[in-house]
Structure 1
């Protein structure tokens, strides 16, 4: 088995274990909420028999452990069950919100990577210059501002005072994002700004470190062109550590997307999760956590493999 395959299997095994633990914790915490789905849906006064019947219809009259294991077994086969609110299939309930969240997350990633690479290289190629100081100052500034504070500032200035972009997604849906992409601009800026800041500084540090290596000086003495030097020698070695940071950044990107959705009232998975918690809708809550966890596992595994591919010397560590 190749070191890359061994790395993937190791990451996948750890990820599955983490996902199961996460689901257990989320389910246990949901049980601590006051009331259950039957109490929330039947806010009128019911007799004890009627309340018991409501719990039986929702499947709440069995033990929590049995309920969780039953859901987990069906989820492993791709069946996330039926929502307690409205009796709709959980898959149909969460599909549209996940598409909205996915659109924002993918758009943010497509903007994040080139912006971070270009800014990091621009600063690292001329350390100490005015350009370096400006880029570093901006990244530190964005890194120190919480997502929701930056979102409120942008809404206040860009939307309310200047009236340039929409301030909220109220009344909008997935089709609106496709037809009117200006709705996506402010959420995208907030999502990318905070996550890109540490990545820019890491790439900058990587570029500076690589340029100080003896083999770079030797390549210059041998007349290697600047473009070839950057593309074949500097970039792979400088970006390999950044790829590992991108894995951690991916988790921050996901949480940042959820915060941005809440601030801008986007009809994404964050809004659906908040509604499910309010309705004590266990199948929807667990399905959202499970799918989000799987996405995080896959993204981190891909990033680890990409970092390994860019830095073959990591194979020695994988064999241990």
Structure 2
């Protein structure tokens, strides 16, 4: 019985930490909802005016504002909006006159597909670059990879996207400059149209991720247990596979989560440049048309995704590093 209790005690000690991280994420999301609602209310222009056009009379605008509930106090509108969001009903679009959930459900799969393809390719490329650079520290390969990754980190997404269009679309005529994703398209056509958006997003993500992975692996290579293993004659490949990588797993997963959270912000620029029919471009259109319910819902999805990735990174770091459990 005592052995069973001792085996359960580490897990029991982890649950309060994980619950604390989850509660912190929920509280952060609540505070973010207040900021999102306040900023969207401060946007210049009027949703009723945008819906009716410039020829609308003041009476018509006032009537539509009353119908939309824009003439009520802000705290009342926030409470109703938050309640509807928690119940799964983000409201009605001002412009499309459709449920916001239906509009988002049409665009969200495209953004998830773009993010998934970019994430899978980026993780494998970053692992290869980061581990190779850390193993060959100080060599020409390490210096070359550091220069490339540092340069890519400093380049903004719109410049990478513009250069990609100039080279692959204008000069070489290999890839389309506009990402047209339709239900009738084949997988090859879909991947071809997504190539430039994935390339534009992946360049920055791979560079950031590779530098953090290199730092995590290099830190483990400097530890005394690696030197002891090499003195005992353990093959270097076994040291990397069975000693360094398991100990660097926590920082690597944390680096991957941090870098992948960047996809949500980078998608705003990339989807707009390539006219990709995703959630980020939908959010930009909502800002332009002052479609407040749609804008707020898209912003909350991006924020919630970011917080979930950060929560996963925290939990993995706690599980991988016993020192963080104190």
Give the one of 198, 201, 204 matched to 1:188: 198
Distance 2:184 2:247 in 1: 42
Question: Please, what TM-score do these two structures have when normalized by structure 1?
Answer: 0.91
* Partner of residue 125 from structure 1, selected from 110, 113, 135: 135
For the 8 Å contact 1:199–1:245, the answer to whether it is kept is yes
Query: 1:207 and 1:255, CA in 2 relative to 1: closer, same or farther beyond 3 A?
Result: same
Residue matched to 1:251: 261
Change (3 A) 1:213 1:185: same
Q: CA deviation at 1:25?
A: 1.8
Map residues 82-97 of structure 1 onto 2, 5 A cutoff.
82-97=92-107
**Could you tell me which residue of structure 2 aligns to residue 201 of structure 1?**
211
Q: Name 2:239's counterpart in structure 1.
A: 229
Distance 1:174 1:307 in 2: 40
C-alpha distance in 2, partners of 1:202/1:46?
55
| Residue 197 (structure 1) shift | 1.2
Q: Supply the distance in 1 between the matched residues of 2:56 and 2:216 (Cα, whole angstroms).
A: 65
* Correspondence 1:101 to 2:107: no
Tell me how many residue pairs correspond in the alignment.
315
In structure 2, the CA distance between the partners of 1:305 and 1:281, relative to structure 1 (3 Å rule), is same
> Which has the higher mean CA deviation after the structures are superposed, 16-25 or 80-89?
16-25
- C-alpha offsets along residues 81-111 of structure 1, whole Å, 9 cap, x if unaligned? 1111232111101112211111111111111
How many angstroms apart in 1 are the aligned matches of 2:290 and 2:68? Answer: 11
- The residue number in structure 1 matching 2:162 is 152
Q: Specify which of 221, 224, 230 is matched with residue 220 of structure 1.
A: 230
Which of structures 1 and 2 has the larger relative contact order (alpha carbons within 8 angstroms, sep 6+)? 1
Shift of 1:314: 2.3
- Displacement of 1:244 in angstroms is 2.6
Work out whether residues 261 and 309 of structure 2, in 8 Å CA contact, stay in contact via their aligned partners in 1.
no
How far did 1:114 drift?
A: 1.4
User: 1:52 aligned to 2:53?
Assistant: no
Once the two structures are TM-superposed, the CA of residue 175 in structure 1 deviates from its matched residue by 5.3
Please say if residues 147 and 194 of structure 1, whose CA atoms lie closer than 8 Å, have aligned partners that are also in contact: yes
Q: 1:173 aligns with which of 168, 182, 185?
A: 182
User: In 2, Cα distance between the equivalents of 1:35 and 1:204?
Assistant: 48
Give the match for residue 35 of structure 2.
25
Question: Separation in 2 of the partners of 1:21 and 1:296?
Answer: 14
Distance 2:238 2:12 in 1: 30
Output the CA distance in 2 between the equivalents of 1:131 and 1:247: 26
**Alpha-carbon contact 2:268-2:284 (below 8 Å) kept:** no
**Structure 1 unpaired stretches of 5+:** none
Q: Runs of 5+ in structure 2 lacking a partner?
A: 1-10
1:296-315 alignment, distance < 5 Å: 296-315=306-325
Pick the aligned partner of 2:287 from 272, 277, 280: 277
Instruction: Please tell me the root mean square deviation across aligned C-alpha atoms, in Å.
Output: 2.0
Partner of 1:116: 126
Say which SS state the counterpart of residue 2 (structure 1) adopts: helix
* TM-score (normalised: structure 2): 0.89
Q: Partners of 2:186 and 2:19 in 1: how far apart?
A: 37
Contact kept? 2:36, 2:300, Cα under 8 Å: no
Does the 8 Å contact 1:203/1:239 carry over to 2?
no
- 2-side partners of 1:192 and 1:104: how far apart? 10
CA distance in 2: counterparts of 1:60 and 1:176, whole angstroms: 42
Matches of 1:116 and 1:294, distance apart in 2: 25
Distance in 2, Cα, partners of 1:251 & 1:226: 33
